[in-house]
Amino acid sequence: MMTGLLALVLCASDTAARSAGPPQDTLPPAAAAAVNAPAPRDTSLVARPRGGPRLAVAPGDTGTKRRPLVEYSDWYGRRLAIHRTLSWAMLPLFAASYYTGDRLARDGRDASPTWVRRTHPISAGAAAGVFGVNTVTGLWNLWDARTDPEGRTRRILHSTLFLIADAGFAYAGSIGGDARDNGAIRARHRTVALSSMGVSTAGWLVMLLGQ
């Protein structure tokens, strides 16, 4: 009888063990969720709407402030080409005006060669024409570029120096007739003209070296 009871107990234990199944996972809920979570998606490429290009995004990039887009017209480029071309004629005209004016002041009008007496007003008038056209084109383009922050300080300095030179040349031209017979006015005419040449050359170099 004891043998039969022992066999019955062993059989029941074996049946319970078989019905229990494999051992269950004993990890805490939070750890189990972390293990079973899907792998993170690769965000190095972010797809734009269907049909659009894929946009690369650097990891951890928070975005940078972009310079506003400034659109210039075709006429801006044409005016700039005229402005730059005439600016190269400025220095030769200055040289001709200075040389002929210095000869007139040193030798006197009557003793100076005919070509000197004729060349000085022509070169001075041509320089005035160059300054007139460049003043219009320069100020027009300065206004068109008012919203462009790049090079703004250089453009304003360049324009200011040329406006000062414009005023100086205008004054020198206004007293040019009286300078023929009056030594003091002639000296003033020469000083103002040379000062204006220096100021305008400095303004020209500001733009030339800043490109």
pLDDT digits (tens, 9 = 90+) for 119-146: 999 999 999 999 999 999 999 999 999 8
CB 151 within 8 A of CB 207: no
So where are the chain's domains? 74-210
Three-point CA angle 138, 142, 144, nearest 5°: 120
Closest CA to 122 of 108, 103, 101, 105: 101
Task: Report residue 164 as tokens.
Answer: 């000062």
Closest CA to 158 of 104, 199, 117: 199
3-class DSSP assignment, residue 38: coil
Task: Determine if the pTM surpasses 0.75.
Answer: no
The continuous run of DSSP H or E covering 55 comes out as: strand 54-56
pLDDT tier at 11 (50, 70, 90 boundaries)?
very low
pLDDT tier at 33 (50, 70, 90 boundaries)?
low
pLDDT digits (tens, 9 = 90+) for 98-125: 999 999 888 888 888 999 999 999 999 9
Task: Report residue 122 as tokens.
Answer: 């022509």
Phi and psi for 66 in degrees, rounded to 5? -95, 145
Task: Report residue 69 as tokens.
Answer: 């887009």
Give the whole-number percent of the chain exceeding pLDDT 70: 68
Q: What is the 3-state secondary structure (H, E, C) of 78-104?
A: HHHHHHHHHHCCHHHHHHHHHHHHHHH
The answer to whether residue 13 scores a pLDDT higher than 80 is no
